[in-house]
């Protein structure tokens, strides 16, 4: 009898039984219904009210069963709220381990509900249904029991149940994996700052109980929590350990330094001092007696800028007399402090940028020729573009070659031109002051130079020492006090703000405040910004003071400076800043509302916080002031930069607005959030805007496009080439508006920034926000009102390099693999100028020889490169290196991989293709595809081969005073192949194949 | 034999005895006990477990419920009838492969059809009809109900009323009596729609009342909105003309304006 197939065809009989007066029958009916509800919910739904009344009947024995049946019926009807409330009524009968759709859906619903209640602000009423809590807890326990730890962790993070989180992590078999998963979780999905900190605290607690903790991650967490003491003790412990531990300590320090939190790093260093003075009674000649307190310590630091810890590489003389253990400890301590101060990384970066500089002077020459002399806007834009192009490379060839042309900059243009030097020499900490010496205000002499170049020089010093101003800030303070001209004060305020970024140094603050209260438009504006820079992210009381003064003063410039400054103070404070933001955005004064937009942008930077986005969109469409609307849209870029893919979608409507200010804002928002990504959607959105009818929209779009496309080449996205040609066309077009021309000039600079070796990155590799970069971009966007602020963009540049270091913090010879076609991430080709060469036929004789020698040289270089590639390909595949292999000449045109040599340029898009070779002598401590990587030497006995030893500093010092003289400097030893003396026509010709052929024919 | 089975069988025997001597109260108590006992049998719907004595159990249960239905008719309890019939139905619909059909099946199904007709649940009547196999329509009990329904729909009320004399089963009498009232209600509804007023004598004839007194009682009970004045019954129809709904014009205008404003802001 195939009775298995026998099924009731209707639930009618059971429903009828439910109406029976006898409770036993009702019970029986309910139990049967419960098992049949999935098939007959539609029939039951008509009489669900009778089931509900059973549940409400206090007399009925199995009320919970009734609730369960009702809940199921409501689930099938799609009434999830009712279903949940009955499921709660069902109590233990509701089975969390059930796999059915019903159970899964309701569990999700219950979780949502629970999370919603849990995440209510503390002020609000929290009425947690204990039954709901019980269900969630049961679910969590079950996940942990089943070994679904990630699920459990995710849920407990979301439910704000740190106790459960701890339980889940501690039971997990892969503890490290679990912890790093949690850290990711807390950064990506927890939008509430306080709570995120709580999670991190909990994680650190767990980390510390481990026998073999992951110090890299702990220190990242601790930095986020702002706990310098623990970081210092961890580092101290590590450097007292073995060699490998020390490497780990260095790596940790590099990772910390990368996040650019100056105040925090300073504290760590101070605590390290305190610790080392405890452990060994050693006197560190470098930082004097250790003082535990942060405030006083900052003042006792040695004040000379050249004196700043350049003893990183030399062993400490006085410490060698003590026993060897203490000596190594001392040596390591100096190294770690060097790293923490950022100097080691800055120095290495500087060397990298200098040696790998591939900027194309031809572009600048074209711009210079195209720009009219009398047009000072374009003139200073060109200077600025040069500065950006060479940011951090210390290559100032272009300026030296065009001193006379440079001299046309007067007044504020001169200020900018001088400040530009600061961008070029950015990070040149040791020599910075010497380089700028000719322009700096002379003590006592007073009338040595123009106040514009003096102010510019002070600003330049700030840019050089941005966020690392330990050594320079006293000098800047002094200059500020002595300054009488408001232009000098302006420069000094900006410089001080930059140098002491985020340190909230009381004394500096007082000095700047004095300038602020002079109520002179120019100086006080800079003072406002300077104060903001000084107190970035401190949410200090000063903000209210500044706000009060902004209400008092009559000068719009000062109000603007102050409102930006106030916005800077709430950087990253998220909800904490809400009161201040509310105050500013409700203000009568549009300039303060404008500041409010920046405050929103900075407080919620990179959080993609829905509330902030909502508010900004509201202001973008409803404010009466164009400035506020523009800024509101622009601010979206800051809020969304952690999810660059979202931005084009969100602002796409706004980019078609009738209001040009909104369009401009939309362009920059995309530029900011998608900076350095080369994101296709972003480019598509910006493309039409680059040919907008309004000139300033074109300007914004060009700049934004350059920010998006930075470090992408034509073979990666063909539109890059088109954009480069468009820029050239705009610059060469006589009838183009000045505004868009300026945009195009700046865009050319940004596109090739930092010798084509930097990108704009707002997030560090460990997914933290780069404070300096965000602040830099925020102030940069202010160039709308004040061109000199354009230079702040240099703060956002981050070198795209993988620099491997050995335990001496030297750069050893080390090779690794990039698993992609070399052309995909190559430098763009040097510019050739077909249009010009077509008309100007250069004497063929010179050209042909040149072209020939050139091509010969090229061929040689190519064959060498090929040999090299082959050799290494064999090395990587068959694990044997023998010279004979090089004789094989494979005709393949484009290899699919590339061997890179330490230190190498690794653009962000390339990072996923980076592989470390297995059989290499060095083993990376942390397998990071870019940034600073400490390498463990597996053959420590063998001699090491070092690269990157040519520091630009020596060359620069000798030539620094010469910068005022007109001789071409010896500094121009970059690896650009053409000699600097060549006339531009020749350079134009050498790469053009047609001319080459012609020349050869003549021979 | 299974002790449970024996107990239920014995109890059922007692029930039948009580039924035979027309002791209805005893029947009701016994029945409810029987039903409770039946829930202990795993082979009964909806679980249909295959136990060795499933066939006996099913047969017994069906028998009990059939008796329950008949008892409810006797008690003139329509709710109980519906309940019991619903519980009986799975034995007819879902057990065809397991136990042989019951002799009582068609009379009871016809009875149910009749009940639906009486309660004027025509839609359900047809649903039930559709569920029956074609050959079932030939059975006199079913045929009777179907013919009644057809007459009822045609408005041939006299044929409906005369059918009482030709019932196929003695239990049908109760429902046939009720049917007369249903017919009367139907006529009353029609007259209300069809006429403004009707003389008392016409109304009496139409609604098949023998005396004015009955008519008056009927009207006060069932249709208090009717009026009897000057020897005529007035059906009130004023209530049906309800004022048509007003268009919320002001609100609509405001909404449209605000949309326009928002639109202007965004684009």
Where exactly are the structural domains of chain A? 16-77, 95-119+128-213, 214-278+329-341, 814-827+895-937
Please return the burial class of B192, using the count of CB atoms within 10 Å of its CB with bins 0-12, 13-18 and 19+: middle
CB burial class (10 A; 0-12, 13-18, 19+) of residue A860? exposed
Distance from CA of A482 to the nearest CA of B (A): 51
Count of CB atoms situated within 10 Å of the CB of B221? 8
Cα separation of A925 and A772, whole Å? 27
- Asked if A37 and A73 touch (Cβ cutoff 8 Å), the reply is yes
Single out the residue of A654, A610, A648, A653 nearest to residue A632, CA to CA: A654
CA distance B39 to chain A (A): 7
CA distance, residue B37 to nearest chain A CA (Å): 9
| Residue (of A257, A260, A266, A295) closest to A467 by Cα position | A260
Which pLDDT does position A911 carry in this prediction?
A: 82
How many Å apart are CA B78 and CA B64, to the nearest integer? 18
Helix, strand, coil share (%) of chain B residues, nearest 5: 70, 5, 25
pTM, two decimal places:
0.68
Q: Which tens digit of pLDDT belongs to each residue from B202-239?
A: 888 888 888 888 888 888 888 888 888 878 888 875 45
Residue A962 has what pLDDT?
36
Residues of A in contact with B75 (CB under 8 A): none
Can you give the residue ranges of every domain in chain B? 3-195, 196-239
> Is the Cα dihedral A75, A77, A79, A83 positive or negative?
negative
Rounded mean pLDDT of chain B?
Answer: 82
The three-state secondary structure class of A901 is: strand
> With an 8 Å Cβ cutoff, are B94 and A7 in contact?
yes
Collect all residues of chain A within an 8 Å Cβ-Cβ radius of residue B267. 653, 656-658
ipTM reported for the complex, 2 dp: 0.72
* Residue A685 to residue A705: CA distance in whole angstroms: 10
> Is the distance from CB of A525 to CB of A558 less than 8 angstroms?
yes
- A13 and B97 within 8 Å at the Cβ level: the answer is no
Residues A840-894 pLDDT 10s: 444 444 444 555 555 565 565 555 555 555 544 444 444 443 444 444 444 556 7
Closest CA of chain A from B183, distance in Å: 28
Token duo for residue B23: 């002791």
- The encoded tokens of residue B220 equal 């006060």
DSSP string, A680-723: HHHHHHHHHHTT-SSHHHHHHHHHHHHHHHTT--TTT-HHHHHH
B86 lies within 8 A of chain A by CB: yes
Asked if A581 and A546 touch (Cβ cutoff 8 Å), the reply is no
> Is B36 within 8 Å of A656 when comparing Cβ atoms?
no
Reduced to 3 states (helix: H, G, I; strand: E, B; else coil), residue A65 is: helix
What fold does the segment set B3-195 form as a domain? 1.25.40
Radius of gyration over every alpha carbon of chain A, rounded to an integer in angstroms: 33
Nearest to B39 among A3, A9, A28 (CB): A28
What local confidence, expressed as pLDDT, does residue A634 receive?
Answer: 93
Q: Is the dihedral of CA A337, A343, A349, A352 positive or negative?
A: negative
User: In chain A, which residues have their Cβ closer than 8 Å to the Cβ of B112?
Assistant: none
Query: What does the pLDDT read at residue A625?
Result: 92
Query: Which tens digits make up the pLDDT trace of B128-140?
Result: 888 888 888 888 8
pLDDT at B237: 59
Number of H helices, E strands in chain A: 48, 9
Burial-class residue A182 by CB neighbours within 10 Å (0-12, 13-18, 19+).
buried
A215: Cβ contacts below 8 Å, ≥ 6 apart? A234, A238, A248, A249, A252
Residues of chain A predicted below pLDDT 50: 1-5, 280-321, 445-446, 834-848, 871-890, 951-1003
Q: Is B45 close to A13, i.e. CB distance below 8 A?
A: yes
Q: What is the pLDDT of residue A892?
A: 56
Q: Residue B256 belongs to what H/E stretch?
A: helix B249-266
Inter-chain touch A8–B46, beta carbons under 8 Å:
yes
Q: What was the pLDDT predicted at A674?
A: 92
Looking at chain B, the number of H-run helices and the number of E-run strands are 12, 3
Q: Shortest CB distance from B98 goes to which of A3, A13, A17?
A: A3
Judge whether B59 is closer than 8 Å to chain A, CB to CB.
no
- Please report the pLDDT score of residue A683 as a whole number: 93
* Nearest Cα residue to A470 out of A438, A443, A496: A496
Which residue do the tokens 């496309």 mark?
Answer: A709
Half-sphere exposure of residue B74, counting CA atoms within 13 Å on the CB side? 15
Distance CA(A437)–CA(A409), nearest Å, equals 19
């Amino acid at each position: 009898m195939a009775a298995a197939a026998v099924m009731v065809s209707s639930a009618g009989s059971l429903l009828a039984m439910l109406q029976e007066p006898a409770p036993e029958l009702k019970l029986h009916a309910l139990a049967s219904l419960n098992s049949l509800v999935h098939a007959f919910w539609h029939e039951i739904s008509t009489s669900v009210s009778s089931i509900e009344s059973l549940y409400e009947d206090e007399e009925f024995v199995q009320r919970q069963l009734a609730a369960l049946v009702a809940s199921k019926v409501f689930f099938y009807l799609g009434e999830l709220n009712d279903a949940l409330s009955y499921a709660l009524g069902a109590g233990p009968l509701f089975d969390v381990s059930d796999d059915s759709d019903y159970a899964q859906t309701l569990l999700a619903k219950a979780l949502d509900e629970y999370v919603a209640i849990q995440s209510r602000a503390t002020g609000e009423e929290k009425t947690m249904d204990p039954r709901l809590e019980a269900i969630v807890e049961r679910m969590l326990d079950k996940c942990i029991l089943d070994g679904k730890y990630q699920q459990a962790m995710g849920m407990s993070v979301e439910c704000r149940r740190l106790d459960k989180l701890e339980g889940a992590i501690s039971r997990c078999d892969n503890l490290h994996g679990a912890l790093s998963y949690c850290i990711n979780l807390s950064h990506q999905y927890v939008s509430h700052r306080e709570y995120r900190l709580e999670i991190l605290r909990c994680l650190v607690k767990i980390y510390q109980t481990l026998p073999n903790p992951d110090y890299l991650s702990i220190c990242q967490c601790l930095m986020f929590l702002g706990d310098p003491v623990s970081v210092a003790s961890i580092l101290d412990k590590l450097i007292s350990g073995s060699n490998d531990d020390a490497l780990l300590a260095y790596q940790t320090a590099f990772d910390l330094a990368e996040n650019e939190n100056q105040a925090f790093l300073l504290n760590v260093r101070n605590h390290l001092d305190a610790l080392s003075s405890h452990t060994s009674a050693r006197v560190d000649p470098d930082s004097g007696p250790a003082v535990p307190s942060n405030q006083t310590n900052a003042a006792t630091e040695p004040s000379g800028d050249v004196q700043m810890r350049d003893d990183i590489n030399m062993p400490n003389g006085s410490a060698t007399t003590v026993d060897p253990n203490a000596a190594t400890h001392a040596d390591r301590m100096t190294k770690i402090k060097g790293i923490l101060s950022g100097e080691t990384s800055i120095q290495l970066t500087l060397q990298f940028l200098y040696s790998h500089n591939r900027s194309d002077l031809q572009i600048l020459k074209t711009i210079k020729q195209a720009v009219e002399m009398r047009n000072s806007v374009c003139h200073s834009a060109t200077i600025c573009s040069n500065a950006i192009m060479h940011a951090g490379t210390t290559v100032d060839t272009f300026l030296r070659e065009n001193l006379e042309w440079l001299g046309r900059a007067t007044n504020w243009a001169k200020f900018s031109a001088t400040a530009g030097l600061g961008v070029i020499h950015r990070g040149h900490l040791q020599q910075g002051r010497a380089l700028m010496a000719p322009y700096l205000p002379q003590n006592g002499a007073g009338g040595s130079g123009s106040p514009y170049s003096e102010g510019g020089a002070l600003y330049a010093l700030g840019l050089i020492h941005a966020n690392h101003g330990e050594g320079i800030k006293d000098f800047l303070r002094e200059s500020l006090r002595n300054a009488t001209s408001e232009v000098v004060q302006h420069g000094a305020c900006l410089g001080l703000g930059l140098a002491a970024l985020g340190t909230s140094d009381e004394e500096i603050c007082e000095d700047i405040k004095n300038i602020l209260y002079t109520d002179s438009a120019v100086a006080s504006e800079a003072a406002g910004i300077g104060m903001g820079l000084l107190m970035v992210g401190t949410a200090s009381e000063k903000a209210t003071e500044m706000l009060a003064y902004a209400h008092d003063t009559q000068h719009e410039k000062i109000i603007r400076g102050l409102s930006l400054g106030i916005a800077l103070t709430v950087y990253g404070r998220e909800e904490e800043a809400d009161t201040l933001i509310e105050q500013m955005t409700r203000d009568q004064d549009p300039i303060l509302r404008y500041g409010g937009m920046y405050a929103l942008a900075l407080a919620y930077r990179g959080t993609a916080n829905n509330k902030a986005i909502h508010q900004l969109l509201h202001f973008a469409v409803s404010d009466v002031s164009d400035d506020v609307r523009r800024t509101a849209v622009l601010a979206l870029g800051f809020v969304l930069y952690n999810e660059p893919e979202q931005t084009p979608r969100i602002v796409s409507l706004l980019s078609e607005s009738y209001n040009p200010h909104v369009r401009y804002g939309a362009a920059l928002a995309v530029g900011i959030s998608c900076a350095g990504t080369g994101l296709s959607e972003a480019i598509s959105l910006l493309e039409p805007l680059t040919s907008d009818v309004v000139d300033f929209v074109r300007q914004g779009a060009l700049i934004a496009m350059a920010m998006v496309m930075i470090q992408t080449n034509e073979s990666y996205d063909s539109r890059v080439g088109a954009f480069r040609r468009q820029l050239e066309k705009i610059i060469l077009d006589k009838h183009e508006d000045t505004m868009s021309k300026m945009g195009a000039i700046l865009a050319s600079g940004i596109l090739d920034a930092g010798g084509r070796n930097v990108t704009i990155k707002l997030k560090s590799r460990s997914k933290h926000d780069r404070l300096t970069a965000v602040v830099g971009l925020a102030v940069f966007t202010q160039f709308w009102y004040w061109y000199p602020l354009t230079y702040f963009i240099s703060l956002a540049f981050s070198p795209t390099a993988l620099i491997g270091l050995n335990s001496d913090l030297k750069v050893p010879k080390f090779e690794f693999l990039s698993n992609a076609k070399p052309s995909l991430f190559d430098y763009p080709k040097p510019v050739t100028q077909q249009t010009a060469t077509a008309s100007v036929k250069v004497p063929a004789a010179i050209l042909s020889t040149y072209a020939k020698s050139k091509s010969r040289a090229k061929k040689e270089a190519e064959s060498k490169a090929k040999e090299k590639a082959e050799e290494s390909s064999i090395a990587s595949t068959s694990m044997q290196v023998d010279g004979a292999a090089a004789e094989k000449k494979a005709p393949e045109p484009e290899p699919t991989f590339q061997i890179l040599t330490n230190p190498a340029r690794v653009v962000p898009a390339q990072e996923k293709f980076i592989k470390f070779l297995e059989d290499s002598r060095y083993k990376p401590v942390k397998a990071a595809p870019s940034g600073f990587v400490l390498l463990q030497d597996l053959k420590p006995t063998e001699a090491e081969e070092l690269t990157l030893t040519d520091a630009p500093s020596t060359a620069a010092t000798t030539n620094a005073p010469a910068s005022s003289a007109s001789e071409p400097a010896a500094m121009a030893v970059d690896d650009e192949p053409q000699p600097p003396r060549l006339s531009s026509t020749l350079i134009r010709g050498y790469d053009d194949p047609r001319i080459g052929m012609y020349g050869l024919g003549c021979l | 034999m299974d002790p449970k089975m024996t107990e239920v069988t014995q109890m059922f025997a007692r029930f039948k005895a009580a039924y035979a001597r027309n002791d209805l109260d005893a029947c009701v108590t016994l029945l409810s006990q029987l039903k409770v006992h039946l829930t202990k049998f795993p082979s009964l719907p909806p679980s249909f477990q295959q136990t060795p004595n499933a066939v006996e159990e099913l047969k017994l249960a069906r028998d009990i419920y059939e008796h329950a239905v008949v008892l409810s008719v006797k008690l003139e309890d329509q709710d109980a009838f519906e309940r019991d019939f619903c519980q009986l139905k799975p034995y007819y619909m879902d057990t065809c492969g397991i136990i042989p059909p019951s002799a009582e099946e068609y009379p009871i199904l016809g009875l149910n059809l009749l009940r639906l007709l009486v309660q004027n649940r025509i839609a359900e009547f047809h649903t039930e009809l559709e569920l029956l196999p074609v050959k079932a329509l030939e059975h006199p009990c079913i045929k009777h109900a179907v013919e009644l329904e057809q007459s009822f729909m045609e408005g041939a009320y006299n044929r409906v009323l005369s059918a009482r004399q030709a019932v196929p089963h003695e239990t049908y009498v109760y429902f046939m009596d009720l049917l007369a009232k249903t017919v009367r209600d139907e006529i009353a509804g029609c007259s209300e729609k069809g006429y403004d007023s009707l003389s008392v004598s016409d109304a009496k004839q139409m609604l098949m009342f023998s005396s004015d007194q009955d008519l008056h009682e009927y009207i006060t009970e069932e249709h208090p909105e009717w009026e009897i004045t000057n020897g005529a019954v007035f059906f009130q129809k004023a209530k049906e003309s309800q004022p048509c709904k007003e268009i919320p014009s002001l609100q609509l205008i405001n909404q449209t304006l605000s949309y326009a404003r928002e639109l202007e802001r965004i684009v």
